[in-house]
Every structure is written in structure tokens, then in C-alpha cells.
Structure 1
Amino acid sequence: MGHTRLDTAGIRAARQVIDPVFLGTPLYRCEALEPALGCAVSVKLETANPVRSFKGRGTEVIASLLADNGSRAAVCASAGNLGQALAWSGRGRGLDITVVASRFATRTKLDRIRALGARLELVDGDHELARERAAAVARHDGIRLVEDSLDIETCEGAATIGLELVDTAPQFDTVLIALGGGALATGVGHVLKELAPDVEVICVQPLGAPALTLSWRARRVVTTDLTDTIADGVAGRYPVPAVLDDLLLVADDAVLVQEASIIAGMRLLLDHAGLVVEPSAALGIAAILEDRDRFAGRHVVTIVCGGNVDMDAYRRWTAPAPGP
């Protein structure tokens, strides 16, 4: 493997400043899923924490550094999960946090950001417009702009999941990782390629939000004009060049899945694993559903990365299909 922006020693150091509430998340084989998927499946559950997503690992690293440096405030753009996580980590360290989000973001996520004490600013546009506004706020107020996936701390935090996968010494041979901005994929991918190089790293993105997958395939940044997916947590249009460079080094494949498969994955995780997940967290299961032959006979780990979902929409998605 070539050199990514990450360093395994730095990832181990990052683990020391992350609140233990985000660490050591469950990893278990879920045999109840296997008849429907045709392969051995283990679940790495990143929803069992105060912000119900893996993002708290990265924001803990950032907030710790900010507090140590005497900073008092930070701003980020978020579809919801990063904002919650930064609000949680900042609150515990006395930081003033501003989150910029689309007013069309999942209401449950926006409500939790407010409840955690952050100032929430909404924009009339998608996540990319929120990113532009957050950058403007940072410049005007002279505060730290937290940029998911570009800021190496977000990747280091996510990479601690990879350390936990390797430390368990399981017999899995494939890891399926939701691909959005790229922090999770590049962080976990770096660790696996360095410490467990025989494990295949497959990134999964919705067909309706394919920018980083298209970029990985083309080996150059490819942008898209819009996104059209229920998986709001991974719906970016402008990949970060430095993140793509890392992804090209650690990902063995990047696949796109259809919305129907994402919904089917959510239903399977509910019915057979008792897990309420947001669409992004079902991408790994969707990938297996769309290519059972590829995964037959393998032991696959899927990272269930978030569980912040609008329950009204979730009930519609997971409702049993009407009878004839």
C-alpha cells in the first residue's frame, strides 16, 4: 500500500482521547441474516452510543484538540450525524458549536442537534450549500471549520473501528463500508490494508449519490449535479481530492446499489437482527443482496454506521408489502 494521509500510530493515539462510550462497539456474527444473504455475516454496530453513529469517534478527537489549544468555538456543515456528534463532543468540553444544515435534512437529526446545545443554521439548499455557508461562518467569526473527511481527525476517529476489527482477530475476509465523504472508508481501509491486507475492502454508495464511487473508478474527481437517494448521510456531490487519493490506495472495489436494495436491507436488519438503522447503514446489506454470487461462501463484515432516522419515513420503508 502507498502512503495515505493516515498513520497507524496516530490512529492508536486518537483512540486514547475518544470517550470510551464510543469505543469497543459490538461485533458479532448475525446468523439470522445469513439464509437471506447466502454468506456468513458479522455486524459491527456503531449505533450503540449517545449520538447513534460512528461520527462521535472523529468529533471526540477534534474537540479534544480544540479544547487543548484553547479554542472556544467551531462550525461544521452536516446532514445530521456529524452535527450531533460535534455538538455532543463540544458540549462536554465547553465549546460553542454551530451546525449548518439543509432545511430539508431529516428532522429527527436537526432536533437532536438543537437538543445537544448547538446553534443550528438552516440553508435553502443541499449539503453542498451548507458546506459553503459553514466556511463563510468560519471566516467571519474566525473559528475552526470542521470538514468531515478532509480533516484528518475525522478519518483517524473512524479508523479506530478498523483497529477494533483487527484486534478481534476474526475470520472475516471482506468488509463492506458505506461511502459518503470518505472518512469511514479511508480510515477503516487504511488500518485493514496495513494490519490485515488479505481482507477485501469494498465501499458501497447509492446509485442516486455516486460521486465518490465514480471518482474512484475514473481515478479523478467526478462531481454530480444532484443527488437522489433516501441515504442522506452519504449524499455528497463534490468529492475531496485528498480523500480520493487515500481511497484509491485502500479500496479494492466501490459499488453502487439501488434504492430498493437499500430499503430491503433496512427490512432485513429490522426483521432478522432487531436493528433500526438509517438508510446509509444498510448499504452493505444492499450490496450483498445485489450480488449474492460474489459473496457466497465468504464471511462478510458490514459496518452499521448510523441509526438516526425519521421514524415516519422508516415505517413507510419497512412496512410489509401489501398482499395481492
Structure 2
Amino acid sequence: MPVTQAMIDSAYKAIQPFIRTTPLDLSIGLSEITGVNIWLKKEHQQYTGSFKLRGALNCISHLSNEQKQLGVITASSGNHGLGVAMAGKITGTKVTVFVPKTTSEIKVEAIKNLGAKLEFVDGDVLTAELTGSSLAKETGSYYISPYNDPLVIAGQSTLGIEIHQQLPSAKAVFMSVGGGGLISGIGSFYKENRIDTEIVGCWPVNAPALLKCIEQGKINDVSEYPTLSDSTAGGIEADSITFPIAQKVIDQYYTVVESEISHAMHKLAAYEREIVEGSAGVALAAILQQAKKYHKKDVVVVLCGNNISFDKWIEVIEPYHFNKKIKINYCVK
């Protein structure tokens, strides 16, 4: 199901009173070392620390009173669960979140603090999604997919509206990809409005599920390995609507290795004093890797989240801080 301009406009109207219009700032330091005009869309400063509130709030806002009273069910590795929990708090809707037992403690505690009920499952986030959606069917509750819902995708598309309003000259928008809700939303906005801006999908080499499905032309099980970008890890539902949308809207595909992700996280701290999670590091790592292709162009990097424990963040960047000999072979000027 495509996401239309009418759906995008409706989403923006529904959620705008309750969300932050996050900054889009030029990074002078990162631009200097790369030769690219790197603009940072600081969505990690959104309420709940990620873009996920947008889709969750739009979805719940469009439910009937009966559906809200019954409560909603979702599944998440953390950020989407936080978004739905906050949306539930805003709208007075009961929320149950299924999460893998491996979900970071900081995200689990944050979801609890927003008043949602947590259910832990063995396995990855796709297992949590299938478990949550199964219970929703049994109980008649509305299941809010992290990505496989047109209302969720339309909510994420509002980021595209903001980016274009803030920087009409953007030649490319880089963002990390998991289930595809974010890139399907932003990409749908740009394509619906025929704006000549390249939509760039960025994946960790260790967790490329949607990318591999696109390459193979169908949704398959894809082997994945541990990654700093835990928010984008996990398989794709067999009937996911993001698959055909992503095929249509993504113009360019890049992958990065774990050392590039951690290095990008360190660069954000060093040049911008920003703490972000691994998924945000993926998008920055990709433009650092491909800088020569975008020389002197205005490029937006979506910093999609900051829900990482401080101890974990220190562990990630510490080697770069204390070992000046570490080198990453990025394409810089």
C-alpha cells in the first residue's frame, strides 16, 4: 500500500502539536574534514530519544475510541516501544510492548517509566513482533507494527516535510534502515512531491535484512550478526508493505562495518558533542565512507536515536579517545 500525500498531510496535522520540530544543523567540523556540506537532522532530540514517536502517535491518533479503550499491542527492540508508550500516555491508551530479552536495560526502564506493560520473549525482534501480533489477533487489540503499517509510515514521513522545509537544497538524505518504516516514510514524501533529492539507505554489514531482500527481489530470512545498530537489527515480516515501498523510493544503498559505526559515533562526539546510538552512527558512517561522491553537496544525515546507555557509549568510543593510532579508511578530501 503506497503512502499518499493526503496521508502524509493528515499525519503532520495530527502529530505536530505533540512533537518537536527537531533542528537541522550544519556540522562545520564534519563538513571541513569531508568536503561535503553535512547537515545533521537531530531527531535524537525528539521526545523519547528517537523518530519512532511520530509513527506511533499518528497511528494511535487515527484509531477509534473503542480501539483506544481496548488498548494497543506492539513489539520492539526499544525505540518503537518507547514511541508507542509515549503516544499511549498522550492519548490515554493502554499499551503492551513485547521486547526481546536482550533489549538494552535503558530502553526497558524507559518504557516502564512511561506506564506501558512489558512482555519479554526469547529470540530476536522479529520473534517479538510475531508474538505480539498473534496476541493482538486473539484479543482484538490493534497491533502497531514498528514499520508494517501505513499509518506508522505516514507518521515517519513528517520528518521528510521538516527536512525539506529546513533545507530545500538537500541533494541527498542519508538514513539507517531496519524494517524500512523511516526510509519508506521520508522517501514517500520526496517521491510524492517529485523533489530531486537522493534517498540513501544505510545498513550495517552485520544486519542487512531489508537490503538483502531488495537485492533478491523477495522477502527471505536473512542471517544477521550482532551490531552496534541494534535498533535496525531483525528480520522483515513476510507481508511487509515497506518492501515494495523501499524498492520504489530508495535511490542508493550503502553498507558499513562495525568499526565505521563506532568511529562515526566518536566523530559526532568529538565535533558536535552529540551522544547517539549505533543506528545514527550507521548513517554518518555511510557519508564519511562515500564523501568523494558528494563533494561540496548539501547532504542530510538523519540522527535517528540516542537511546544507548552511557556505559555502552563510553565502551564504544573509548578506544578512539585513548588510541590515536586507530585509522579508518574513509574517503575524505
With the shorter chain as reference, the TM-score category is over 0.9
The corresponding residue for 2:291 is 292
Aligned to 1:94: 92
Pair 1:195–1:220, CA change in 2 (3 A):
same
In the TM superposition, what is the alpha-carbon distance from 1:50 to its structure 2 partner?
A: 2.4
The answer on whether the counterparts of 2:35 and 2:295 sit within 8 Å (CA) in structure 1 is yes
Distance 1:19 1:291, change over 3 A: closer
Q: Judging changes above 3 Å, is the alpha-carbon distance between structure 1 residues 119 and 279 closer, same or farther for their aligned structure 2 residues?
A: same
**Partner residue in 2 for 1:42:** 39
Kept in 2, the 8 Å contact 1:208–1:229? The answer is yes
TM (norm. structure 2) is 0.91
Contact 1:166 1:195 in 2 (8 A): no
Correspondence 1:212-291 to 2 at 5 A: 212-238=210-236, 240-291=239-290
The 3 A distance-change label for structure 1 pair 242 and 63 is: closer
Relative to the length of structure 1, the TM-score reads 0.94
Residues 174, 200 of structure 1: 8 Å contact kept: yes
Q: How far does residue 195 in structure 1 lie from its aligned partner after superposition?
A: 2.3
CA drift of 1:296 comes to 2.2
Partner Cα separation in structure 2 for residue 254 and residue 130 of structure 1: 27
For the structure 1 residues 323 and 202, does the alpha-carbon distance in structure 2 shift closer, same or farther, using more than 3 Å as the test? Answer: closer
State how far apart, in whole Å, the 2-side matches of 1:295 and 1:19 are.
32
For residues 85-234 of structure 1, what are the structure 2 equivalents within 5 Å?
Answer: 85-234=83-232
User: Deviation of residue 169 (structure 1)?
Assistant: 4.5
Q: Structure 1 regions of 5+ residues with no counterpart?
A: none
C-alpha displacement at 1:190, in angstroms? 1.1
Structure 2 unaligned blocks of 5 or more: 326-333
How many angstroms apart in 2 are the aligned matches of 1:167 and 1:55?
Answer: 20
- In the TM superposition, residue 293 of structure 1 has moved relative to its aligned partner by 1.9
The separation in 2 between residues aligned to 1:35 and 1:216, in whole angstroms, is 34
Structure 1 residues 71 and 323, CA, compared in 2 at 3 Å: closer, same or farther? Answer: closer
User: Matched residue pairs, number?
Assistant: 321
Equivalent in the alignment of 2:323? 322
Report the secondary structure of 1:51's partner residue.
helix
The answer as to whether partners of 2:75 and 2:145 remain within 8 angstroms in 1 is yes
* 1:129-167 C-alpha deviation (Å, 9 max, x unpaired): 111221232133221111121111110011011111222
Q: Deviations over 1:235-255 (max 9, x none)?
A: 022255421111111110122
Aligned to 1:81: 79
1:280 Cα deviation from its structure 2 partner: 0.3
Q: Secondary structure at the match of 1:176?
A: strand
Aligned to 2:29: 32
**Pairwise CA distance, 1:93:** 1.8
Measure, in 2, the Cα distance between the counterparts of 1:58 and 1:323: 41
Structure 1 Cα separation of the partners of residues 324 and 162 of structure 2:
44
Tell me which amino acid in the other structure corresponds to 1:283: V
Aligned to 2:287, the other structure's residue is in SS state helix
The residue that corresponds to 1:17 in the other structure is 14
Larger displacement relative to structure 2 (211-220 or 142-151)? 211-220
Amino acid of the residue matched to residue 300 of structure 1? V
Structure 2 letter corresponding to 1:9: A
For residues 41-65 of structure 1, what are the alpha-carbon distances to aligned partners after superposition, in whole Å with 9 as ceiling and x for unaligned?
Answer: 0011112232011011111111212
Q: Which moved more, 1:80-89 or 1:214-223?
A: 214-223
In structure 2, C-alpha distance between the alignment counterparts of 1:70 and 1:213, rounded to whole Å: 34
SS, match of residue 100 in structure 1 = strand
What SS class does the counterpart of residue 2 from structure 2 fall into? coil
Higher deviation after alignment, 192-201 or 124-133: 192-201
Whether contact under 8 Å (1:266, 1:277) holds in the other structure is yes
Q: For residues 241 and 45 of structure 2, what CA distance do their matches in structure 1 show?
A: 30
- Structure 1: how far apart are the matches of 2:309 and 2:105? 7
Percent sequence identity is: 28
The reply to whether residue 62 of structure 1 matches residue 63 of structure 2 is no
Q: Deviations over 1:196-225 (max 9, x none)?
A: 532111100110001111122233223213
